[in-house]
Chain A
Amino acid sequence: MSVLIIAEHDNQALAPATLNVVTAAQQIAGHADTTVDILVAGQTCDAVAQAAARIPGIARVRLVDDASQAQQLAENLAAQVVALAAEYSHILAPATTFGKNFLPRAAALLDVSQISDISAVVDGETFIRPIFAGNALAKVRSSDSCKLITVRTTKFEASAEEGGNAAVEPVTASEESGLSSFVGRQLSQSERPELTSARIVISGGRGMQDGANFQLLDAVADKLDAAVGASRAAVDAGYVPNDFQVGQTGKVVAPDLYIAVGISGAIQHLAGMKDSKVIVAINKDSEAPIFQVADYGLVEDLFEALPAMREALG
């Protein structure tokens, strides 16, 4: 019995999160002495299958190219996973909105308790996962014969992308459920690095006061080639779109450098960034809890600090 990874993609390119899942899958496969396959389910997604096949250490790429998988609707994708499950001891997906959407559905159909958001692999049955907004870590052992797992991507290095040469095998598509249909997507367009994989992230909070002021952050981000994030308060206030949100219920990031600007440091925000290597806090309130996790703190008005920082970066 091998390990199966469900690839995240947009029919054109493999999402980087998949590479972090490969690392977790290979750790599990090492304990279980088995191999790793990748399922690419989509439509006209041959380029994705080819990319998956080039990842080192993958045994097989299983390709479903069918209209029913074009938008990876949860009902259809879960059914496809269930159809293949008998061949696998572990089925993994990234703990992104993609993985969280369909994998629990597949787990229930298989009568399996999903293990969400693992941050470490102890052995083939035992995993560590954060609970209570990361204020505790649970070590859990699963007794299910097939284990369905979502992976916290920031806790596993991305695997290499090139060097492998796996066989691509077509798989029969399972039936279209007819339960839901795709209407449309508004994707944020940005020239900047992607938030969850950027080496540097600079986030703004309620202290930014309005959306236009995010230009001050952008100017610093440009100098550092950083991604821009936000607290929930900044998103709720409409300063920036929802996909900027970092935290327990937004995105989890762990860059080399995280700069929190005008963010107080609520439990839920810390849950999404406290594994960053170096944390900087800029806040005019020296009592703000964000300073308790910051390596470098600056008690200053952000409207002075941000332009000065842009200057200092040359």
Chain B
Amino acid sequence: MRAQYDRKNKENLSFQLPEGLSEEIVREISKQKKEPGWMLAKRLEGLKIFLQKPLPSWGPSLSRLDLSRIRYYLRPDASKNATRWEDVPQDIKNTFERLGIPEAERKSLAGVGAQYESEIVYHNLKKEWEEQGVIFLDCDEGLKKFPEMFRRYFMTSCVPAALHKFSALHAAVWSGGTFIYIPKGVKLTTPLQAYFRMNAMRGGQFEHTLIIIDEGAEAQYIEGCSAPRYDESALHAGCVEIHVLKNARMRYSSIENWSKNTYNLNTKRAIAHEGAIMEWVNGNMGSAVTMLYPATVLAGDNSSTSFLGIAFAGKSQNQDTGSKVIHIGKNTSSVIRSKSISKEGGITSYRGLLSIRKGALNAKASVSCDALMGDARSVSNTYPSIDVVERSASVAHEASVGKISEEQVCYLRSRGLDEKAAAQMIVSGFIEPIVKELPLEYAVELNRLISLEMEGSIG
């Protein structure tokens, strides 16, 4: 099953820029996209910050990531943004069909977008939602059609370019991604979906996802990501910005299964306004190194957020993930629940921040992280950081680390299961709280992926 994701197509690019990063390259990307001047200025500012900021001194080593050899902009040879599946070129179509994209759309999803290399190749939104004013476009097109909304929300209050080195890089070279706007009071009953795929060698993918859920609206968005395997490292530095306005509700689910030589340095951040609810469901399977900490700023009173995350690290993988919550409004609440599995020398680290600022009266927060270790060579780290300045806050944190218990395996075997099935059942039970929050087809995929990865490691 892994082979299905690792398979690569012949590179078929209509336009690509040379390796490495320079002001010329950034200007060229902006020119190719025929962007307004302010966006170019934003990109150049991002480049400046990127060059100034040092690499993070903490976390996994990024020494094997050669930023000067990454190809920062690749445009596949496809008539951009086909709305009919038949118009997508055959090789790209085959890839996405292997991954089950059109099938998923036919079944139950409200809309689907698919990104190949740096550009969106296909998107579609069911008519009933379009009529209600829902916007589901690729980000470049969104910028052209709704420049005012972009000026207001694009990399401003939620993820400013200066947040960290890779958000600055993203600001400089971003391309493609998804733009979603749900008008006031519209409640989407079925999820929207996008799929991101890197195919070219040493490619970089910097898709930008901008989601605005207007007052009282509700939506769910699912994202899947993958890349084939090459001998040289690829880079994914995407950015997700979500503005959940007053009394709105958003659920963002993603399963990231990049190939095992990708550096996944992603930024995800949401701002929850008064009474808003933001939910993250995050699965990290592939990639060589992941540094991803979805964050929610609970800016409005009575807002709340939850994070459910699972990370899996196998041989030579380093999954450094977690979640951040900043409580600012009154009566806010947050729940973080993180699970990790490491095996064959893989490293999983939970790294999180929980900050309760002055004036965030009656904030309630709880964090729990559990780790399961497959063998004695693997590593499991927990680095939570909790900062409370408000005495009316109530904060609880707990974590546990353990292995698949021999007693549990023994019990299941006495009930007639073989050792492998017993171990798989224990793992399924361990990740169940997260899997049950996913739509059925994703839940099945995640379960299958994990049981596949666990194969041969136990018993």
Please determine whether chains A and B interact with each other in the same assembly: no
